[in-house]
Chains A and B, each alone.
Chain A
């Protein structure tokens, strides 16, 4: 049963990822990433990370992807011909990617970790991965990281307003689309 769930989740997540890279229209790439994230949340559930699975759906597939959809719609669907990178990258890209995969595989499988080849320990605590346990960790052991994350979010919000906000000198010039 667990194997079936894993392979369904893995095929869905891989299919979504390949679709993100290969679809021509960025709008469809965003929707493919939503599919990828939903299947990935299922895999998180298999690894007993209930809270993170819920957070991934709510924060990522819900909020962040809405931002992407709005921007993809705002800048318009610029279709890009398939496999249209510069000639050097078309050759070097796949070679580098295969080398990266081999390197990660060797690093993980050759690491000699004693838990490789097992499903992990059975005697994990009862509340593993629940919001309660993660909340205790965040607000007790990792309080500095929690506060740093909130500060980072504030800085990013200010940066978005500075970058994307309309400036005063821009108002005199016609915006894109009004002239052409």
Chain B
């Protein structure tokens, strides 16, 4: 299987995640779409790692997984805090950063 198939799949997944971040309004779904974009980046890293016969790219993906886990924890913490303060869970209405 040629490498560019994997790269095109990665580009498609990244684009779908990008559309989701732009058009969805629920912060939980926006975080899910960010996960999609991160996993597309991981797929590109692994494709290039296979293409070069070098495993360094796979270590990068492991670090990306860690960063994604941190992003999820902070993002979902913010969603829970918004819910507790009775703010609307809609990014179009979150226009001010006051507590």
Q: SS class of chain A's interface: helix, strand, loop or mixed?
A: helix
19 further interface pairs, Cβ-Cβ under 8 Å (given A108-B11, A149-B63, A160-B77): A20-B16, A20-B32, A21-B36, A43-B9, A46-B1, A55-B65, A64-B68, A64-B69, A71-B76, A71-B79, A80-B25, A86-B92, A120-B52, A124-B50, A152-B66, A152-B67, A163-B74, A163-B77, A163-B80
| A160 contacts B16, C-beta separation under 8 Å | no
Question: Lowest 7 A-B CB distances belong to which pairs?
Answer: A163-B77, A156-B70, A21-B20, A93-B22, A85-B23, A104-B11, A164-B80
Interface of chain B residues 53 through 99 with chain A (CB within 8 A)? 53, 55-56, 58-59, 61-63, 65-70, 72-74, 76-81, 83-84, 86, 89, 92
- Looking at chain B's contact residues, the main secondary structure is helix
Closest to A70 in B: B76
> Could you say which residues of chain A place their CB within 8 Å of the CB of B51?
113, 115, 120-121
Q: Are A137 and B56 in contact (CB under 8 A)?
A: yes
Total number of B residues with any Cβ neighbor in A under 8 Å: 68
Q: How far is the CA of A6 from the CA of B50 in the complex (A)?
A: 15
Q: Which residues of A contact B61 (CB under 8 A)?
A: 49, 52
